[in-house]
Amino acid sequence: MGNRGSSLVDSRTVEIGKCDGKTFPDNRVISYKYTIWNFLFKNLFEQLRRVANFYFLCMGLIAAVLPDSPVTSWATLFPLIIVVTVSAIKQGYEDYRRHKADDKINNSLVTVVRDGVAQEIRCKKVCVGDIVKVGADTDIPCDLVMLISSHPDSKGYITTANLDGETNLKTVECPIDTDLNVDHLSHLKGTITCEPPTVDLYGFHGNISLSLTQGEGDLEPYNPVFVKDGYPMETLHGDSCRGRHRCSFSKIHFLAQREYTAPLTATNLLLRGSQLRNTEFVFGCAVYTGKETKLALNSTLTINKFSTIEKSVNKFLLFFFILLIVEVLSSVLLAFGFERRFGRPDKWYLGPMESVTVKDVLNDIFVYFVLYYYIIPISLYVTIELQRFLGTFFFEWDLEMFCNDQPAICNTSDLNEELGQVQYLFSDKTGTLTENDMKFRRCSIDGSMFVETRGELMLLPPSGVLPTQLPISCWPPEVEQFLVAMALCHAVQTRGEMCGQVLPRDTNRAPEYQAPSPDEKALVEAAARCGVIFLGTEGGYSFVSIRGLIRKFKKLQTLEFSSDRKRMSVVVSDSDDQVWLFCKGAESTMMPLMVSGHREETIRHYTDFSMRGLRTLVLGLRRMDTGEYLRLAHAMRVARSTIDATSREASLNEVFNDFERNLHLQGATAVEDRLQDRVPETLELLRAA
């Protein structure tokens, strides 16, 4: 397929399972600058951009055209050729290493499904539309929309350290939560309509349409694609659907021989350069390949940069060039002045003196230029190039620059000296100046302040002084509801299988948590220590152990966090089919949404937390009736299905605001993120440097 007509100028359509290698670029990684065909001309152009090289080229040409040059042109051009050749060899060797690295990636084997058959092909031959398999702990070969995951909740986990430097696990979801498996890929049909390639790593919008044609391996006995959803077009009431694919949902609707459309967001996109973790495998459809991937668009090659030293050298060259001009003009003036004053009667062999012409003046000027041009050393650049080239080996040999037995790799030596030239230092706080190890310290619940000590919430007096803390013998409903909100309102996942057993409270045993942010992990772990343990998710349900009693909540909606909203929410239904919205976020955005609760006391408490250097979040909730939820959920689906990014964001924000209103103030949390060792002294030294 490809980019369509005028109605879809700003989108592209991809047929799932159909390789389109003509309309879109191939999947080659290209980090090199030169090829065999353009190396000579491109490298020569880049080297002649250097002031000294261009200067010596001009001097050589002048010496070649002068009728009585004091030196031959080869005496000038030959050293220049040597200098340019040495630099070209160095840059060619570095580019050869880039070619080898690219070949290693481009020729790596990738499993794709074409014409219903799984086959291994070279990574560079992956096309837009291919269904690609990615195994655990392997790199994503191109930008993929995830279709199938080995995870029971149709999710996958990735690290994006190579893209944005973040080491936390991020969750990626299948856009349509189905019970599909590998057997269905040969019968899977559909299209993806999405935005054209952009550099935004965190933005992606589009729609996906899927259908499953009847064939061997389809689900039994109805041959449907089972889709979990809050608003089925056709529902089949029952507790289970028996077959070899093990699907069990309270409400299911099937789409045999029918197309189903779902919106696409950044949470459905696997980016090239990221790595799959804690997931056995995923299958995805390639939507961006090669130079159109977000990684490639953020790694655009540029022409050679000038380092700080080279810029300084150019300034000195300008000074010496001015000095050269002064010497040349002085010599020309002195020569003509001497001849006019003293003449040359005794130099009969030079012939009689003639009147001075402009041609004579220009000839003498160029002669003196050629005579004095060595004031600028011709070996200047080659010396710098050799020093840089040898310096790369010291980087690679430096044991302190090893990372997990992997040495540092210098792809280019042109900017070696820039590593020590720091003029401005930009730094965030979390994880850079701090340990990024969050510890839950205090909280405010229903107007009262608490501190967590050894898995117990302890009530503090208004002064907040620790010695007079009072233990709680039994939980008020507000405390339990607050801890349940901490255990449900997050994007945390458990490592491995969901822990479905009853966990004794006194042992504080809880699953190992993985979170997109350490703040969320700290809150979930704190709730677990206090007896409200998030056990994990399975089949669209979140399981929570509350003082030994396991309860399940159906997760209906997640209102994602954004830097503009500064909050996130989850909508769940409990065992009584009551719908609840739990919301948490910064006090600046949360407090205007509150219509009930202990407002003044909570403000006083989180102000006290902030004065102690703790990170604060405000929690709120509201109960929703089923009719309101159905209306807003339908509006959410319509908003998410909008392809235009601006319209989608505006529509989603409007729906989010309708969800997150008239909240009841539950309280606030306080988490400590301690400074790393000797941070104050380091900042003082940096300021003084």
Lowest mean pLDDT among 17-21, 243-247, 294-298, 551-555: 243-247
**pLDDT: is 308 or 53 the higher one?**
53
pLDDT of 395 above 90:
no
Lowest mean pLDDT among 190-194, 360-364, 472-476, 602-606: 472-476
Please tell me the predicted confidence (pLDDT) of residue 455: 73
Lowest mean pLDDT among 203-207, 362-366, 417-421, 437-441: 417-421
**pLDDT: is 532 or 183 the higher one?**
532
Q: What integer best gives the mean pLDDT of the chain? A: 80
pLDDT of 301 above 70:
no
Most confident of 6-15, 352-361, 383-392, 586-595: 586-595
* pLDDT band, residue 394 (cuts 50/70/90): confident
Written in H, E and C, the secondary structure of 172-192 is EECCCCECCCHHHHHHEEEEE
In the structure encoding, which two tokens stand for residue 676, read together?
A: 């790393």
- Distance CA(646)–CA(652), nearest Å, equals 10
Instruction: Tell me the C-alpha to C-alpha distance, in Å, between residue 540 and each of 20, 155, 173, 251, 520.
Output: 35, 11, 12, 11, 20
Instruction: Tell whether the torsion through CA atoms of 318, 323, 327 and 329 is positive or negative.
Output: positive
Q: What is the CB-side half-sphere exposure of residue 384 using CA atoms within 13 A? A: 20
Please tell me the predicted confidence (pLDDT) of residue 662: 93
Measured in residues, the chain has a length of: 689
Instruction: Tell me the C-alpha to C-alpha distance, in Å, between residue 379 and each of 59, 83, 117, 387, 501.
Output: 15, 7, 61, 12, 75
Please tell me the predicted confidence (pLDDT) of residue 500: 40
Please tell me the predicted confidence (pLDDT) of residue 588: 93
CB 138 within 8 A of CB 164: no
Residues 439-624+662-672: name the CATH superfamily. Answer: Calcium-transporting ATPase, cytoplasmic domain N (3.40.1110.10)
Query: Strand pairing partners for 169?
Result: none
pLDDT of 50 above 60:
yes
**pLDDT: is 652 or 278 the higher one?**
652
Lowest mean pLDDT among 11-15, 338-342, 438-442: 338-342
pLDDT of 658 above 90:
yes
Report the alpha-carbon angle 647-653-659, nearest 5: 140
Checking DSSP bridges between strand 567-573 and strand 594-596, what pairing results, if any?
A: unpaired
Strands (E), 230-387: 236-237, 251-252, 260-264, 269-270, 275-277, 281-288
Please tell me the predicted confidence (pLDDT) of residue 506: 40
**pLDDT: is 566 or 228 the higher one?**
566
- Distance CA(201)–CA(667), nearest Å, equals 34
Please tell me the predicted confidence (pLDDT) of residue 140: 94
Task: For 486-530, give the DSSP string.
Answer: HHHSS--EESSS---SPPPGGGT--PPEE-SSHHHHHHHHHHHHT
Which among 352, 366, 335 is positioned nearest to 69, based on CA atoms?
Answer: 366
Query: What pLDDT digit, counting tens, does each position of 108-140 carry?
Result: 999 998 887 888 999 999 999 999 999 988 999
- Distance CA(276)–CA(348), nearest Å, equals 91
Query: What pLDDT digit, counting tens, does each position of 13-40 carry?
Result: 899 888 887 889 999 988 888 988 999 9
pLDDT of 416 above 50:
yes
pLDDT of 482 above 90:
yes
pLDDT of 223 above 50:
no
Please tell me the predicted confidence (pLDDT) of residue 508: 46
pLDDT of 241 above 70:
no
Which among 157, 144, 134 is positioned nearest to 16, based on CA atoms?
Answer: 144
- Residue 23, SS3? coil
**pLDDT: is 432 or 192 the higher one?**
192
- Distance CA(211)–CA(261), nearest Å, equals 9
Average pLDDT over residues 168-178: 79
pLDDT of 2 above 70:
no
Most confident of 255-259, 275-279, 446-450, 483-487: 483-487
CB 446 within 8 A of CB 620: no
Please tell me the predicted confidence (pLDDT) of residue 346: 61
* pLDDT band, residue 303 (cuts 50/70/90): low
Instruction: Tell me the C-alpha to C-alpha distance, in Å, between residue 676 and each of 147, 192, 428, 429, 431.
Output: 42, 46, 13, 10, 9
pLDDT of 456 above 60:
yes
* pLDDT band, residue 251 (cuts 50/70/90): very low
Active site residues: 428
Which among 397, 445, 447 is positioned nearest to 598, based on CA atoms?
Answer: 447
Task: For 336-353, give the DSSP string.
Answer: HHHHHHH--TT-GGG---
pLDDT of 167 above 60:
yes
In the structure encoding, which two tokens stand for residue 675, read together?
A: 């400074």
Average pLDDT over residues 447-470: 72
Please tell me the predicted confidence (pLDDT) of residue 64: 84
Domain 2-23+126-297, CATH among 2.70.150, 2.40.128, 2.40.50, 2.60.120? 2.70.150
**pLDDT: is 567 or 679 the higher one?**
567
* pLDDT band, residue 608 (cuts 50/70/90): very high
Please tell me the predicted confidence (pLDDT) of residue 230: 34
Average pLDDT over residues 415-422: 74
* pLDDT band, residue 655 (cuts 50/70/90): very high
Please tell me the predicted confidence (pLDDT) of residue 473: 53
**pLDDT: is 419 or 197 the higher one?**
197
What are the structural domain ranges in the chain? 2-23+126-297, 439-624+662-672
pLDDT of 96 above 80:
yes
pLDDT of 107 above 90:
yes
Please tell me the predicted confidence (pLDDT) of residue 173: 86
Determine what percent of the chain is predicted with pLDDT higher than 70: 81
Which among 229, 247, 230 is positioned nearest to 238, based on CA atoms?
Answer: 247
Contacts of 584 (CB under 8 A, 6+ apart): 485, 489, 567, 568, 569, 590, 617, 618, 619, 620, 669
Please tell me the predicted confidence (pLDDT) of residue 431: 64
